[in-house]
Amino acid sequence: MIKKPNVFKWSLKYALISAITGMICCVAPAVLFMLGIMGGVVAISFADFFYAPDGSLGLGSLILRVVAVGIGVLAFFIFKKKQNQCSIEPKRKRLNLILLLALLALFGVIFFLTLESWSTWYFDEYIVPQQKIELKQ
């Protein structure tokens, strides 16, 4: 017997993957800086690569966000395919898909905004001061 996919776990997992994908431009340099693998100047340069010179969204960050949404859409269709392998009544299948779509969107946005807020704070608090120290030397 094929195990039914869990809507809640599925949406949490793929929403987090999507959010990290959408914010990899800022999360990756912050994590690498935390681990001591990357200095402040390199971390800022890595993040700046994804943004326009004026600080607005650049092509790179837009591509990451499109890929993140694509992961969410792919997760929806994979769930639908897995669910169709189970003997669940059609009404419940529809309800599961609606619930999955709502949870993916909700969790994805919450995780994305949380990562964005955290990375902004971390850059301002730790990476930018380190960059200034490195540039003085």
Of 71, 103, 98, give the one whose Cα is nearest residue 83: 98
pLDDT tens-digit map of 38-88: 999 999 998 888 988 887 888 999 999 999 999 999 999 999 998 887 777
Q: How far is 75 from 120, CA to CA, in rounded Å?
A: 28
What pLDDT score was predicted for residue 1? 56
Which regions of 3-128 does DSSP assign to beta strands (E)? none
pLDDT tens-digit map of 8-47: 999 999 999 999 999 999 999 999 999 999 999 999 998 8
Return phi, psi of residue 35, to 5°: -80, -5
